Amino acid sequence: MKEAIEQLSTRHLLGIKDLNANDIQLILETAQTFKDVLNRPIKKVPSLRDITIANIFFENSTRTRLSFELAEKRLSADIVNFSASSSSVSKGETLIDTVNNILAMKVDMVVLRHPYPGAGVFLKNHIGAQIVNAGDGAHEHPTQALLDSFSIIEKLGEIRGKKIAIIGDILHSRVALSNILCLKKLGAEIMVCGPTTLIPKYIKSLGVKVEHNLLNALNWCDVANMLRIQLERQDISYFPSLREYSMLYGLNKQILDSLNKEIIIMHPGPINRGVEITSDVADSKHSIILDQVENGVAVRMAVLYLLAAQRG
């Protein structure tokens, strides 16, 4: 692969808020090149052969962790995997001590998932390695937003002027915030939809529309991104029951067929089938959920490759 002529404006990927529109465009264009690589018989390139990357996950993750790990392997990087559940963190070791011990093994880049918002920013101020935020609490999940944008462009040709509805638990979702920031920078119109209790009060300050009726949101949008209910982050009850939530905000085939147009269905996963989305919708021709998973590897390859060019 050719060396990138352009460079990102940042050494780290801590959140979409730190990227400008040119950064996002560069990542998406580079991801397209890597997607072409992934469709070749030999799917590996030597771009990060001398780079060591530590995947440090303080929260459970399957899809994001596997996606990053595969992206790193496709780029020929050396990988160190760290899981907090089987580490000295359970014995009281601090985040800085944990990371510094890993960095003492000459690690160049850290992919970090942490339950606390701002964990990546905190680390950046204390260590020298580059940091990629793989999700920090209910704050941001930048690579998910980038792969979602890539998937929309792949399906619709462009994002500018498109109407994207983000539906579900907006209050606790890092995917929602990163998607709003990313899609707005690319020129999309955004609407959030969900119960009043799951829509944060600050949301209108981000320049998005707010809707509480699912059918209105679906009739308005070109793309519906269905979010799962984040029960693990809810310390109080935000709605009477999952059954009632599903009746008001769950997307099924009957609702989809009643629309006067075709829309694209997305979901960041994992899916709660039968709650926010039914199986016949998730597995339908409207859904690009598996495309999102596939595109995640190419987008994360692009992020790691472009950040590695900023080392020094």
Residues 6+ apart with CB under 8 A from 137: 114, 115, 116, 117, 119, 174, 233
Nearest 5°: phi and psi at 193? -140, 135
Query: What pLDDT is attached to residue 233?
Result: 43
Percent of the chain residues topping a pLDDT of 90: 76
Encoded amino acid at 87, one letter: S
Nearest 5°: phi and psi at 56? -110, 105
Give the model confidence (pLDDT) of 235-257 as tens digits: 545 565 888 888 999 999 999 99
Give the model confidence (pLDDT) of 283-306 as tens digits: 999 999 999 999 999 999 999 999
- pLDDT at 101 > cutoff 80: yes
Burial 69-96 (b: 16+ CB within 10 A, else e): bbbbbbbebbeeebebeeeebeeeeebe
Query: What pLDDT is attached to residue 280?
Result: 96
Give the model confidence (pLDDT) of 30-60 as tens digits: 999 999 999 999 999 999 999 999 999 988 8
Residue 125's CB: how many other CB atoms inside 10 A? 6
